[in-house]
């Protein structure tokens, strides 16, 4: 199916939940109602005409100037039909939560953890939502646009101090 045909099928199934459709270089991006992301993803996977059985990628984008600041982007692919589509949901800063799609694609597990880690977006009903790349006690969400490239200025490193202290005491243990 052509991406636009998929979009039309999606629009006829979830009439009131498609917010925006955009085309760029033959790739179609469909923005949908975030409350319906679970059923929409399930339908996209299970409908025999579409069969989006492969979650290529899941990530987030931060637009600080927009009212709905964050976007969560789902890049879907169908191995059987060889077509792609991109689904998006938009989230406001004061309510950063969207339903997890781990029950639809297992691949979403770590992708969602990564988004949680780097953007601070909460995925409801995720089986194990913890920081993935950064340490558990990390402060802030680095991929947000307001997070400075060099990191936060007033950052403290208790582990580092601890390690340095151990290093200083190396001599005590060395056999002379």
Partner 1 sequence: MDCEVSDANANPQSVTKDLTLNLGPQHPATHGVLRLEVDLDGFTVIKCTPHIGYLHRGVEKIAENRNYLQIIPLTDRLDYVASMSNNVAYCTAIERLCAIEVPERALYIRTMVAEMSRIASHLLMLATHALDIGAMTVFLYCFREREKILDLFERLCGARLTVSYPRIGGVIRDAEDEWLEDVWAFTDEFPGRVEQYETLIDQNRIWLQRTKGVGVISAEEAVNWGLSGPTLRGSGVAYDVRKSAPYGVYDRLEWSVPTGTNGDVYDRYRVRMDEFRQSNSIVRQCIEALPEGPILVDDPKYALPPKESMFEHMETLIHQFALITDGPPTPEGELYVATETPRGEFGVYVVSDGSGKPYRMKIRTPSFVHISALTKLCIGGRLADVIAIIGSIDIVMGECDR
**Start-end of H helices in the chain:** 3-13, 37-46, 108-119, 158-168, 170-173
Question: Strands, DSSP E only, in the chain?
Answer: 18-24, 27-32, 54-62, 70-77, 84-91, 97-99, 122-124
The residues of the shown chain that bind partner 1, judged by CB under 8 A, are: 24-25, 27, 29, 53-57, 59, 61-62, 73, 75, 77, 79, 82, 84, 86, 105-107, 109-110, 114, 118, 132-135, 142-143, 147, 149
CB of 16 vs partner 1, minimal distance in Å? 25
- With respect to partner 1, which residue has the nearer C-beta, 11 or 53? 53
Cβ distance 107 to 100 under 8 Å? no
Min. distance of Cβ 79 from partner 1 in angstroms? 5
Nearer to partner 1, 59 or 68 (CB): 59
Nearer to partner 1, 24 or 160 (CB): 24
Tokens read off for 113: 């953890």
């Amino acid at each position: 199916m052509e991406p636009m045909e998929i979009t039309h099928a999606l629009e006829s199934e979830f009439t009131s939940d498609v917010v925006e459709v955009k085309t760029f270089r033959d790739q179609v991006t469909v923005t949908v109602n975030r409350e319906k992301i679970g059923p929409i993803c399930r339908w996209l996977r299970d409908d025999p005409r579409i069969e989006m059985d492969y979650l290529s990628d899941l990530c987030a984008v931060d637009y600080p100037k927009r009212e709905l600041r964050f976007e969560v982007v789902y890049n879907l692919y169908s191995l059987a039909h060889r077509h792609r589509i991109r689904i998006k949901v938009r989230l406001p800063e004061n309510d950063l939560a969207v339903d997890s799609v781990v029950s639809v694609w297992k691949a979403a597990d770590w992708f969602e953890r990564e988004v949680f880690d780097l953007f601070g977006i909460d995925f409801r009903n995720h089986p194990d939502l913890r920081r993935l790349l950064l340490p558990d006690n990390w402060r802030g969400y680095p991929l947000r646009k307001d997070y400075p490239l060099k990191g936060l200025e007033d950052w403290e490193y208790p582990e580092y101090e601890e390690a340095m202290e151990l290093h200083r005491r190396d001599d005590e243990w060395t056999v002379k």
